[in-house]
Amino acid sequence: MSDDHDAAGAMSFIFEAGTLKRAARTGWWIAGIKDPESIAEHSFRTAIIGMILAAMEGADPARVSMMCLLHDTQETRITDIPHIAKRYLTAAANTDITADQVADCPPAAVDVITGAVTEYEAGETLEAVVARDADKLECLVQAVEYRHQGTDTVQRWIDSSRAALKTASAHRLADAALSGQPLAWLNTFRTTA
């Protein structure tokens, strides 16, 4: 395989992943959110949360962040299937979708990406557990933000996300999210006149 072919294959995956910036998270439509976050926005903050959780739990922050960034890339091909729809639909395994997505990438990139997705899907390593907690915690945090914006139909997302958390650090961050104010960080910039 030529270097040009490898580069074209890698760029194909990069372009495909970019469509997640335009793909809305469908579960929030059910809650009545008219302009929900995109899958890419969710993945970005999941990676930030994952990095912080990894540091708190003694896991590898870079590995966790990578898994968080890749955990929903398959949704370019199968969309963001809402939880309720999963009762009625059977989708291909995320590992199979990822293998198709990166088939034309350079072999080293294939190994890195498929390895991270496989590890995340298996959920057995500390890093995978932390990455999965980051995913659930990001959903909880987003629901808290929507609630602060006046949407009162998000409690089931808060409850199910919290119930899925495994690590002590994720539970502590969930408590802080539930008792906190999303815009409290702005108080840092108060000036006294």
The string of pLDDT tens digits covering residues 38-49 is 999 999 999 999
pLDDT band at 192 (very low <50, low <70, confident <90, very high): low
The string of pLDDT tens digits covering residues 100-116 is 999 999 999 999 999 99
User: DSSP letter string over the chain?
Assistant: --HHHHHHHHHHHHHHHHGGGT-B-THHHHTT-SSPPBHHHHHHHHHHHHHHHHHHHTS-HHHHHHHHHHTTTTHHHH----GGGGGT-----HHHHHHHHTTTS-HHHHHHHHHHHHHHHHT-SHHHHHHHHHHHHHHHHHHHHHHHTT----HHHHHHHHHH--SHHHHHHHHHHHHS-TTGGGGGG----
The string of pLDDT tens digits covering residues 68-112 is 999 999 999 999 888 888 889 988 999 999 999 999 999 999 999
The string of pLDDT tens digits covering residues 117-167 is 999 999 999 999 999 999 999 999 999 999 999 999 999 999 999 999 999
Domains of the chain: 3-189 (1.10.3210.10)
Task: Quote the pTM value.
Answer: 0.93
